[in-house]
Structure 1
C-alpha cells in the first residue's frame, strides 16, 4: 500500500488530482491495475488514504513548529524561522499535497478542515501569548491573515526553481514579520 501511495503522490503532483488515473498510479507503482484494485477501490480511495497519511505527517510537523514553550521570549524573526522552515520543508517533501487539498474532486476533506481549524487555533494561541491585549476577534483575524499569507506564498515557494526558493521563503518571513510586528508586544528592542 505504501508503494501505491508513494506513486499516487508523484502522479498527483505531476498531473493534478483530476487528470490522474488509477491506471497511471498503478503504472508508476510498477504493479498491474488489478493489483491496485486489491487495495483500493479507485482513485478517490487512494486519495483519501493519501490525505490521511499527509494529515498525520502534517500534524507532527505542525506540532513541532507551533509548540508554545518559550515563544514569548523569541525575537519575532526567530519565531518566523521556527514556524515557517518546517512548514516549507513539509510542503517541499510532499508535492502531491496541494493536488489533494485544492483539487475540486476531493472538496472539503474532513481531515483537511480539521487541520486548518487546528492551525488557526495554534496561530491564535501564539498571538495570544505574544499580544495578550488582543481580544478573541482580533486574534482570529490575525490568524486568518497569517494563514492566508502562508497559503498564498507556499505556491510560489514550492513552484520556484531551487535557486530562487530561499528568496521566496525570506519574502514570506518578511511579510509575516512586518504584519505581526505592530501587534507583537513581546518584541525586544
Structure 2
C-alpha cells in the first residue's frame, strides 16, 4: 500500500486558521438572514413605527444582545431589509417591464402578466409595502423608494410605447404615472384583504387598468 503523505503541521494549522473566518462569516450571514426575516414579520404585523428591536429579537428567537451584534438599531434593520427587497423588486422590473410587440401580446395579456407578478411579490413580502409607504420610514428608504418609483414609471413607459407609437412622449409619461398611481391604490386594497376577496380586488385592478388603457391601445387620439 502506498504510504499516506501527511501535511506539515504548519500547513494544517494555516488551513484551519483560514477556514475559521469563513465559518464565522457564514454563521453571521445566516444570523443576519434570520434577523431580517423576523423583522419582516414584525414590520408587516405591527408597522414600522410600533416595531421594536426587542420584538424583532423575540421573533427571531435570539437575545437583544445578539441582535445588537449585527444591527445598532431598528432603522439599520429596516434599511438593510428594504434595500434587499428593492433589489429583488428591480429584478422583477427587468423581467416583466420590457418592450412588447402588440401584434404578439395584446394589452390585456400585458396587464395581467405585470399585475400578477407585482401582486405576487407584495403578497410574499408584505413588509415591502409597509417600509415603502409607512409614515415614519427612514429617510434613506424614502430616497431609495423615490428612485424606485422613477424607475417603475420609466419601465412602464417602455412597456406602453409600442401600443401608442404616435403618442407624444409627455402623454406617454402621464399615462405611465396614472398606471402606477392606479396600481398603488389598488395594491393597498388588495393587501388589506385575503382569500376570495383579495382575488376579487386583483381582478378589479386589472379591469380598471384595461378600461383605461384599451382605448389608447386601440388608437384613440391623445
TM-score normalised by L of structure 1:
0.93
Q: Is 2:182 the partner of 1:146?
A: no
Q: Is 2:149 the partner of 1:116?
A: yes
Aligned counterpart, 1:88:
119
Matches within 5 A, 1:95-110: 95-106=126-137, 107=139, 109-110=142-143
Query: Highest CA radius of gyration, 1 or 2?
Result: 2
> Deviation digits for residues 89-143 of structure 1, max 9, x if unmatched?
0000001112111122224622211111110001111221110111121111101
Note the C-alpha offset of 1:71.
5.0
Q: Is the 8 A contact 1:72 1:130 kept in 2?
A: no
Aligned counterpart, 1:34:
65
Aligned counterpart, 2:22:
none
Alignment gaps of 5+ in structure 2: 1-31
Q: Is the 8 A contact 2:161 2:172 kept in 1?
A: yes
Structure 1 residues 54 and 40, CA gap change in structure 2 (3 angstroms): same
Matches within 5 A, 1:127-142: 127-142=160-175
Aligned counterpart, 2:109:
78
Larger RCO of the pair (alpha carbons < 8 Å, separation 6+)? 1
Q: 1:159 aligns with which of 176, 180, 192?
A: 192
TM-score normalised by L of structure 2:
0.80
Aligned counterpart, 2:54:
23
Alignment gaps of 5+ in structure 1: none
Q: Is the 8 A contact 1:71 1:79 kept in 2?
A: no
Partners of 1:131 and 1:21 in 2: how far apart?
49
Say which SS state the counterpart of residue 182 (structure 1) adopts. helix
Q: Is the 8 A contact 1:65 1:87 kept in 2?
A: no
Partners of 2:100 and 2:82 in 1: how far apart?
29
